[in-house]
Chains A and B, each alone.
Chain A
């Protein structure tokens, strides 16, 4: 029946996780099938894939095997909250004179799939609405919506909001899958429909629950949703296979599918690796209690191994194919594409000014016109309300011009520690200041041969604290590279609709060239050139000179950068953050 799902050869492929196109397709098929069997317990699938024939085939097959009588509801990331929740339809009401209500898209998607295009551009509002919908589903396995997020992002900097991805069991990746690996699913709608009523009564043993929990812990994935999703996915797989008990196989396949991306996220945000906790050995040592445990390979170990292999393979292949470093600076402007700033269109209170390009807020207009109808000699019940120009209300989109402060800190040489801790202090002060609530702060540190993004743009003090706790220091000074990285970062922030602001902390003396050679003369020239290029971007910049005495070199560099110059030998973080705030205020 289900070759793709039950064929042991495929199982081996997936477990060895060489991430060939076939394995990736197989995983994506499994994700789709399981999500459709048990949407109320699994949430749905996040699919990382470029628009193209592979993704199109997957979507078409998803539609085909869905047992729902209604077609999937497809929405763009920019869908308005009103369309999602439904409510008064301004246009129709106006035309007919009666209140017409739209059925919200979320309601229409219940029982079938909600497919979101360009999900990496979802804003918090819409995500929260979908998340809330996902929370409330059940009691039947097939109840609620099956959310499918189509994610076209290339790096981890642009991701669908965590509030949503947290609630989806599966993350499938088809980015490297060639067309020849994509084949029609061998499952069909009847199989899915038959499995649904069986899911909730599938049995799971206590040992399996414990093994899954222990595996999650070892993989450092702590949210309670992870083990729940693993077990639900395993149940769905058992139901699809017509079994009434979850087997170790089910757990391995479904579980590794659920845990791989979550474990991967943990690995990328690597804190120093936790030594294997002594407790996890307990399961193995608790021998003598159950004979079977000693003879069969431990499920927990197998699961952890499967996931770790998969995670390593993904990271390995990413490096291989020259994908941007997971902690890279981000998609610095895809040329030619319309840029959509996700913080852009939040509808504000309706306004009266009819500037060019403003859209009429129909419902507010109706509300303004309604009390006046009697005065306008409209007998009640008249089909069309009389609207006068004074009634018109326009939708005003509030553009939140957030500032994005990018610290570029010299972490080279002996003074590194001191400089870094000042910068860290300044970052935290800026973040905790209530005026800057809307502003984001990020930190790039440069030393040795490279510039590293230690803290991606964030508003969160908690994140800053966590990521800046381990600060590297020492080595040569790749100042030119730091400047180019800063420039790319600033452009990326602009592309997201934010106002970048650069803060350099350095003595201005670079000694490492762009291609990693310790040649002071060349480095100096490159630094000046890069600085001039950066100044062409017209990003407001402050250069804090951390040398012992104000040096002409640092001053010259700040001129080349087009930056404001501040002398700061013994910086204290308060001074830095205070000066930064002042400068932002001027812009």
Chain B
């Protein structure tokens, strides 16, 4: 019996974070979300709530690789075995949110030799790691700016290709590992390597709420949740259900949304103005704009969507001038105003 999580719709404020998470769920190719900022702002709460909110997915029963029974081509060896003559048995489950602990070993992350079976029967079997468990779900790395370099490299590789390749201890195999990477952290602990920063599709700054009304509401909802979790969840069920339907619709719509030339040009102009390196910024910006359009149920991307997507798609890609006191969001806002109008 799963512990009741705090409902997504009940989260007060943090609109940027919530939007970014929803967009990454609608379009996983956007490349993950980086949430950085103050402590105690509900980052972890939001991510767990997201998983509980999302539409359930078909997962093969007893499969440690989270195989999709609807896609026979991608099944793991277990699900493909002659014993499962037809499609493997399926179950509806929420997408997984896997925590990547700071001190995780490579074995734990990638997977390793199944010791038990090897010692007991001498067979070489693979014990799936965290990446397998995160397939078709989310991999959450808290304090991402403190993560070990070699783990960072592994994550970058797999997140980009969607495939985990194992060559070790006498085993050689690959398995699908398509996940949305979500990182959170506090900049006071240290800077994130630029290479890693750039790989995140979207970034949001999470600030402590200062508005008194907002703060009161946060406390009240938290109290109500602690008092009776089931009851609280029931109160918010309707809103959560509505949001879930919105996401389903958005996912269906996503492939057919039109992006007019005017928007493509504006996106390019914005990136040039801000001096964001490479093309990832532009791609992320367009995808974010499409995400906002999908969420709103619109069939075409507009400049408004671009405006909303710009800070989260570009805020972390600005070439850093350490002596420039103005913060990233101010620079993006300025550029947006100049290129897209107020």
A binding-site residues for B, Cβ under 8 Å: 41, 81, 85, 88, 93, 97-99, 124-126, 128-129, 132, 135-136, 138-139, 162-163, 166, 200-201, 204, 206, 209-210, 213-214, 217, 222-225, 227-228, 231, 279, 346-347, 349, 363-364, 366-368, 370-371, 373-374, 378, 380-381, 385, 425, 428-429, 431-432, 434, 437, 459-463, 465, 573
Contact B216 A210, beta carbon cutoff 8 Å: yes
Given A210-B216, A367-B112, A81:B187 Cβ within 8 A: no
The verdict on B330 contacting chain A, using a C-beta distance below 8 Å, is: no
Chain B residues contacting A370 (CB-CB under 8 Å) are 113, 115, 118-119, 169
Q: Which residues of A contact B320 (CB under 8 A)?
A: 432
Q: Judge whether A209 and B219 touch: CB under 8 Å.
A: yes
Q: Are A124 and B102 in contact (CB under 8 A)?
A: yes
A373: chain B residues at CB < 8 Å are: 118-119, 122
Report Cα–Cα, A224/B37, bound state, in Å.
13
**Is there contact, CB below 8 Å, between B99 and A132?**
yes
CB-based contact B219/A363 at 8 Å? no
Cα A223 to Cα B190 with chains together (Å): 20
How many angstroms between the C-alpha atoms of A463 and B189 in the bound complex?
9
Known: A431-B191, A434-B193. A231 touches B115 (CB 8 A): no
B248 at interface by CB-CB < 8 Å:
no
11 examples of A-B residue contacts, CB within 8 angstroms = A98-B120, A125-B102, A128-B146, A201-B227, A222-B38, A224-B219, A225-B40, A231-B219, A349-B106, A429-B323, A460-B187
- Nearest CB on A from B264, distance (A): 32
> Could you tell me the distance between the alpha carbons of A132 and B142 in the complex, rounded to whole angstroms?
9
Tell yes or no: B19 within 8 A of A by CB: no
- What residues on A are CB-neighbors of B188 within 8 Å? 162, 460, 462-463
Give chain A residues whose Cβ lies under 8 Å from the Cβ of B44.
135
Instruction: Considering the complex, give the chain B residue whose CB is closest to the CB of A430.
Output: B322
Chain B residues within 8 Å of A573, by CB:
323
Q: Does B226 contact A (CB under 8 A)?
A: yes
Cα distance A366–B120 in the bound complex, in angstroms: 12
Residues of A within 8 A of B4 (CB): 139
Smallest CB-CB A-B distances: 6 pairs: A370-B118, A125-B103, A459-B190, A223-B40, A428-B322, A371-B170
Q: In the assembled complex, which residues on chain A have CB atoms less than 8 Å from the CB atom of B115? A: 88, 93, 99, 363, 366-367, 370
Residues of A within 8 A of B121 (CB): 380-381
A200 touches B226 (CB 8 A): yes
Q: How far is the CA of A162 from the CA of B102 in the complex (A)?
A: 15
Which residue of chain B lies nearest to A131 when distances are taken between CB atoms in the complex? B142
Cβ-defined contact, B190 with A124, below 8 A: no
Which residues of A sit under 8 angstroms from B187, Cβ to Cβ?
460-462
Q: Decide if B323 touches A425 in the complex (CB within 8 Å).
A: yes
Contact B323 A428 (CB under 8 A): yes
Q: Which B positions have Cβ atoms within 8 angstroms of A?
A: 3-4, 38-42, 44, 99, 101-103, 105-107, 112-113, 115-116, 118-122, 124, 142-143, 146, 148, 150, 169-170, 187-191, 193-194, 208-210, 212, 215-216, 218-220, 222-223, 226-229, 320, 322-323, 325
Task: Considering the complex, give the chain B residue whose CB is closest to the CB of A161.
Answer: B189
- Which single residue of chain A is at the shortest CB-CB distance from B118? A370
Q: Is the CB of A213 within 8 A of B219?
A: yes
Q: How far is the CB of B231 from chain A (nearest CB, A)?
A: 11
A37 CA / B273 CA spacing, docked (Å): 57
**A224–B209 touching, CB < 8 Å:** yes
Distance in angstroms from B157 CB to nearest chain A CB is 16
Task: Please report the C-alpha to C-alpha distance between residue A171 and residue B4 in the assembled complex, in whole angstroms.
Answer: 30
Contacts of A132 in B (CB 8 A): 99, 101, 142
Does A138 lie within 8 Å of B39, measured CB to CB? no
Judging by beta carbons under 8 Å apart, are B101 and A126 in contact? no
Tell whether, in the assembled complex, residue A231 and residue B223 are in contact, meaning their CB atoms are under 8 Å apart: yes
B-chain residues with CB within 8 Å of residue A431 when the two chains form the complex: 191, 322
Taking CB atoms, residues of chain B closer than 8 Å to A371 are 113, 118, 124, 169-170
Residues of B within 8 A of A225 (CB): 39-40
The answer, among B112, B150, B212, B218, for a CB contact under 8 Å with A279, is B212
Query: Who on chain B is nearest to A279 by CB?
Result: B212
Given contact pairs A124-B189, A135-B44, a sample of 16 additional A-B residue pairs in the complex whose CB atoms are under 8 Å apart: A98-B120, A129-B101, A132-B142, A139-B3, A222-B38, A224-B218, A224-B219, A346-B148, A363-B115, A373-B118, A373-B122, A381-B121, A425-B322, A425-B323, A428-B322, A460-B187
Q: A162–B210 Cα gap in the complex (Å)?
A: 21
Separation of A459 and B191 alpha carbons in the complex (Å): 7
- The CA-CA distance from A192 to B113 in the complex, in Å, is 47
Docked pose: A168 CA to B103 CA in angstroms: 22
- A41–B41 alpha-carbon span in the complex (Å): 16
For B227, the chain A residues whose CB sits under 8 A away are 200-201
Contact A367 B113 (CB under 8 A): yes
Contact A224 B42 (CB under 8 A): yes
A209 & B220 in contact (Cβ 8 Å cutoff): yes
Q: Are B120 and A380 in contact (CB under 8 A)?
A: yes
Would B40 and A380 count as touching, CB distance under 8 A? no
Residues of A within 8 A of B41 (CB): 224
CA distance A223 to B207 in the complex (A): 10
Pair B322/A124 contact, Cβ less than 8 Å: no
**From residue A246, how far is it (CB to closest CB) to chain B in Å?**
11
Complex-state Cα separation, A206 to B220, whole angstroms: 9
B40, A98: Cβ atoms closer than 8 Å: no
Q: What is the bound-complex CA distance between A370 and B40, given in angstroms?
A: 45
User: Is B122 touching A380 in the complex (CB atoms < 8 A)?
Assistant: yes
Give min CB distance, A370 to chain B, whole Å.
3
Residues of B within 8 A of A381 (CB): 120-121
Q: Is the CB of B215 within 8 A of A227?
A: yes
Q: Closest A-chain residue to B220, C-beta based?
A: A209
Contact of A98 among B119, B122, B189, B219 (CB under 8 A): B119
- In the bound assembly, the distance between CA atoms of A463 and B169 in angstroms comes to 45
Asked whether A437 and B190 contact (CB < 8 A) given A132-B99, A166-B39, A213-B216, the answer is yes
Nearest-Cβ distance from residue A66 to partner chain B, whole angstroms: 22
Do residues A97 and B219 form an inter-chain contact, with CB atoms below 8 A? no
The residues of B that contact A162 with a CB separation of less than 8 Å are 39, 188
* A432 engages B322 (CB within 8 Å): yes
With contact pairs A128-B143, A129-B101, A138-B226 given, residues A459 and B119 touching in the complex (Cβ less than 8 Å): no
Contacts of B124 in A (CB 8 A): 371
Q: Which B residues touch A428, using CB under 8 A?
A: 322-323
User: In the assembled complex, how far is the CB of residue B11 from the closest CB belonging to chain A, in whole angstroms?
Assistant: 12
Q: Contact between B190 and A374 (Cβ–Cβ < 8 Å)?
A: no
Least CB distance from B100 to A in Å reads: 10
CA of A201 to CA of B74, assembled, Å? 50
Select one of B146, B190, B208, B222 contacting A228, CB under 8 A: B222
The answer on a CB contact under 8 Å between B216 and A460 is no
| A206–B38 alpha-carbon span in the complex (Å) | 26
Minimum CB–CB distance from A237 to chain B (whole Å) comes to 16
A224 to B101, CA, bound (A): 24
What is the CA–CA distance of A363 and B148 in the complex, to the nearest angstrom? 21
Query: Contacts A367-B113, A437-B190: A85 and B101 contacting too (C-beta < 8 A)?
Result: yes
* Closest CB in chain A relative to B140 CB, distance in Å: 10
Complex formed: what's the CA distance from A227 to B210 in Å? Answer: 13
How far does the alpha carbon of A211 sit from the alpha carbon of B101 in the complex, in Å? 38
- Give the residue of B40, B103, B215 whose beta carbon is less than 8 angstroms from that of A126: B103
Q: How far is the CB of B124 from chain A (nearest CB, A)?
A: 6
- Residue in chain B with minimal CB distance to A371: B170
Return chain A residues, CB-CB under 8 Å to B325: 465
Q: Are A213 and B169 in contact (CB under 8 A)?
A: no
> How far, in angstroms, from A364 to B168 measured CA to CA in the complex?
12
- Rounded to whole angstroms, the CA-CA distance of A138 and B118 in the bound complex is 38
Say yes or no: A41 contacts B226, CB within 8 Å: yes
Q: Which residue of A lies closest to B323 (CB)?
A: A425
Report yes or no: B208 in contact with A223, Cβ–Cβ below 8 A: yes
A347 touches B323 (CB 8 A): no
Q: How far is the CA of A347 from the CA of B325 in the complex (A)?
A: 39
Most A C-beta atoms less than 10 A away, residue of B40, B121, B208: B40
Query: Closest chain B residue to A573 by CB distance?
Result: B323
User: B191 to chain A: closest CB distance in Å?
Assistant: 6
